[in-house]
Structure 1
Amino acid sequence: MPPFDQPPLGRPCFQLPRGARADAALALGTFVLVAVAEGQLLRSGEGSTPSLIASWLLIAAVCGALLLRRRYPVAVGWFTALATGGYHLWSDTDGPLVVVPIVALYAIAAQGRLQAAVAMAAAMVIGMSAGTFAGTSDINGTAVFMLAGWLVAVVALGTVRHGRAAHAEEEARLRATEERLRIARELHDVIGHNISMINVQAGAALHRLKKDPAQAEEALGAIKAGSRETLRELRATLGVLRRVDEEAPTAPAPGLARVDELAASAKPAGLTVRIVRTGVERSLPAPVDLAAYRIVQESLTNAAKHSGAGRVSIRLSYGDEELTLAVEDDGRGTAARPAGAGGGSGIAGMTERARALGGELAAGPRPEGGFAVRARVPYGSTGEPMEEGDR
């Protein structure tokens, strides 16, 4: 493998300059082109000395202004336009210096300053037209018409460039916002569930410490296992965020295959969990599997922390095109937790997960008592039935 500081074999190592280097290359190239034209005038012996001196000063000033076109685009644009006009008045050579204000005009339009670009283009056309009316032999109506067409095209291209850049920046902001929300939701579901279970189990251990040391020891063991699982998932999440080269996690990914572990982790918190599966079990797409797991996880957390429930029923129904799940408890419904208490976002996070996959989620108290969370998540284009061995 080639060293990291060398380009891979078979790929061109030449790259076009960018930023300040591109401006310097553009300024130097334009100066060379105009200097060649002026050099022909020097060799012919035509033109007065003051005219030649003024022409070379204007050439150097106009080309050098390109070095500042990104920092001061409008000022550079007007300066190059006026200085180029002065050059054509002083010099006897019709050199390519007019390229410089056109480049500056594009820079103005590309930064979204449409009014300044239109004003500068109009001033250049008016200046050319004034030269035509003044009877200048080098300028005629055809030249003015062609220049106007070029300027309109340059302004249009710069505006399109600005629109594309603004659209790309907005898409990047939206992606960053969605990623932050996804990470926040994932951390809430991962850490919130385990910490809530640890909190409930710690309270149970303190309550049973003197009355029933055996049950207190069982709760403390569950706290230890839960805290270890929390640390593992937190490190895995942070490792993904840091993009470090660590070994791949050996623990199974969160999914409905681990729903029995969730039920077992809720037992020390005083919950008796029953899981009912109907339909033909199938291999779910990773986003659907993770969303279903997190919905069940958050529902168990709410049941243990807020409802005072003793029994929870988890129903998983595998349909032909979607997964339907329901988590119901026999607690106190929403009476134990007023709206907005604790500032939690569990139900909102579950709803976002379901809607992001084209599904829906409803949560609320049951008429017969307790609380229920019901969700429907489509499989999408995948979701093949599981083989008997996989099951």
Structure 2
Amino acid sequence: MTWAWDEHTRERRRRRAAVFGPVALAIVQLFGTFGAWHNQPDSRPPGPLGILLLLAGPLALLGARWRPRTVLVAVLAITLTYLALGFPYGPVVLSPAVAAIITVVRGHRTFAWLAAGATLLGIQVIRVTLREETFTWFGTTATVAWALIVLGIGELIRLNRARQAEFRRARAEAERRRVSEDQLRVARELHDVVAHHMSLINVQAGVALHLVDRRPEQVELALTTIKDASKEALTELRALIGVLRAEGEGAPRAPAADLGGLAPLISRASQAGVSTTLEVVGDLDDVPAAVGTAGFRIVQEAITNVVRHSGATRARARVRITVTDSALEVAVTDNGRGPGPAPVPGNGLRGMAERATAVGGSVRLTDGPDGGAALVAQLPWRTNS
């Protein structure tokens, strides 16, 4: 994934910096110190021991990623030794500054601040006793200010990294949540497709078995309906599988299903034995895709419930689609139940409610005017100005 690739790139850059940074710092300290020595004639010339100490500090930073506190102590000891031997001031202070910053960034803040305080005290002792320099408030203040600036930079880098890490965690969580929502949406589509088409196939298979001996001429119609329903089910299932397999961001998130497919849906329901009519009020082209998909699936599930649970001798259903300036209204009514107990509300009704809620709408199920059920879904899609 993109986030994993970014993290890998960042880690590779950190490894490069951990190697090339100390090498570059060693070169700067070495040549910078010789340049500073010419302006400090009273200092001890940096001979082989001085050069060794100038190189030892930066090279010790190579282990700062794994042992930041140990490296900080080592670099501070090297720097204090260098100053105690009377070598010239200069870029030698860069190594302890980098070590302190790394220690703070790695989370050892208290240790870094205490080490800095101890180092400042050690520098003052070395300056007054070993280097026999006169104590001045200006020099002391400048040294303390330098330490505070270094530690402050470390704190800023630490806070910035913490914010970046939190942002990456939030982004990864949002991505996981989006994937979970997509999976839920695909699962809901799968339920609707399978439930609807399998119900039609089941009903028509029962009709074919019932008529195979009595009216064989009508078996062909039932088998044709089964063939059409199974073909469309396979087409939609292939679209769903395509969504699951798609990895690019440009891939569609859901199979194409909208209000334009209502006419074939009504036709299949009528062939399955439920005489179904469709009435459309308003322009379906004004309905947004998300609301249209929700409306289509709600009609599909409602008709599936009529096919499976109506129980009437001659089942009839009426679908009315009304498009207003602010909402899509879906109403599906049937002509009542036949003998037998009423069905227990299950995943179908819950799925319709979830689809309506997803677009800010609602679904209600009441008694129909013809003794059956009446399902009404309100799906808002635009607020009035």
Summarize the Cα distance change of 1:28–1:219 in structure 2 as closer, same or farther, 3 Å threshold.
same
Q: TM-score, normalised by structure 1?
A: 0.75
Shift of 1:284: 1.8
Helix, strand or coil for the counterpart of 2:360?
coil
**Cα distance per residue 1:130-181 (max 9 Å; x no partner):** 2223325487322233234223322322222222122212211221111111
Partner of 1:242: 245
Q: Which moved more, 1:25-34 or 1:299-308?
A: 25-34
Partner of 2:165: 162
Partner of 1:226: 229
- Measured in 1, the distance between the counterparts of 2:216 and 2:247 equals 44
Partner of 1:132: 120
Helix, strand or coil for the counterpart of 1:19?
helix
Q: Which amino acid aligns with 1:234?
A: L
1:289 aligns with 2:305: no
- Measured in 2, the distance between the counterparts of 1:143 and 1:39 equals 22
Match of residue 96, structure 1, among 87, 94, 97: 94
Superposition pairs for residues 37-186 of structure 1, below 5 Å? 37-39=29-31, 46-47=45-46, 53=52, 56-62=55-61, 64-65=62-63, 69=65, 75-92=66-83, 94-97=92-95, 98-103=97-102, 105-106=104-105, 108=106, 117=107, 120-134=108-122, 135=124, 136-137=126-127, 140-186=143-189
Helix, strand or coil for the counterpart of 1:185?
helix
Partner of 2:311: 308
- Measured in 2, the distance between the counterparts of 1:379 and 1:284 equals 7
Query: How many residue pairs align between the two structures?
Result: 340
Summarize the Cα distance change of 1:54–1:192 in structure 2 as closer, same or farther, 3 Å threshold.
farther
Q: Which runs of 5+ in 2 are unaligned?
A: 1-7, 38-43, 84-90, 128-138
Match of residue 320, structure 1, among 325, 336, 358: 325
- Measured in 1, the distance between the counterparts of 2:304 and 2:103 equals 61
**Cα distance per residue 1:212-258 (max 9 Å; x no partner):** 2122221111111111111112222323443499xx99xx9432222
Partner of 2:131: none
Identity %: 32
Q: Is contact 1:51–1:90 with CA below 8 Å preserved after alignment?
A: no
Q: Which amino acid aligns with 1:31?
A: V
- Measured in 2, the distance between the counterparts of 1:195 and 1:54 equals 82
**Cα distance per residue 1:318-345 (max 9 Å; x no partner):** 22221111111234399443355xxxx3
Superposition pairs for residues 258-277 of structure 1, below 5 Å? 258-277=261-280
Summarize the Cα distance change of 1:199–1:91 in structure 2 as closer, same or farther, 3 Å threshold.
farther
Summarize the Cα distance change of 1:76–1:222 in structure 2 as closer, same or farther, 3 Å threshold.
farther
Q: Which moved more, 1:219-228 or 1:268-277?
A: 268-277
Partner of 2:214: 211
Summarize the Cα distance change of 1:374–1:269 in structure 2 as closer, same or farther, 3 Å threshold.
same
Helix, strand or coil for the counterpart of 2:364?
strand
Q: CA RMSD in A?
A: 3.4
**Cα distance per residue 1:80-135 (max 9 Å; x no partner):** 433332332333462422324524643x4xxxxxxxx2xx2222122121222332
Q: Is contact 1:303–1:331 with CA below 8 Å preserved after alignment?
A: no
Helix, strand or coil for the counterpart of 2:280?
strand
Q: Which runs of 4+ in 1 moved over 6 A?
A: 42-45
Structure that is richer in helix per residue: 2
Q: TM-score, normalised by structure 2?
A: 0.76
Q: Which moved more, 1:18-27 or 1:347-356?
A: 18-27
Q: Is contact 1:360–1:377 with CA below 8 Å preserved after alignment?
A: yes
- Measured in 1, the distance between the counterparts of 2:207 and 2:196 equals 17
Q: Is contact 1:312–1:329 with CA below 8 Å preserved after alignment?
A: yes
Summarize the Cα distance change of 1:56–1:280 in structure 2 as closer, same or farther, 3 Å threshold.
closer
Q: Which runs of 5+ in 1 are unaligned?
A: 1-15, 70-74, 109-116, 383-391
Q: Is contact 1:275–1:314 with CA below 8 Å preserved after alignment?
A: yes
Q: Which amino acid aligns with 2:112?
A: M
Larger radius of gyration: 2
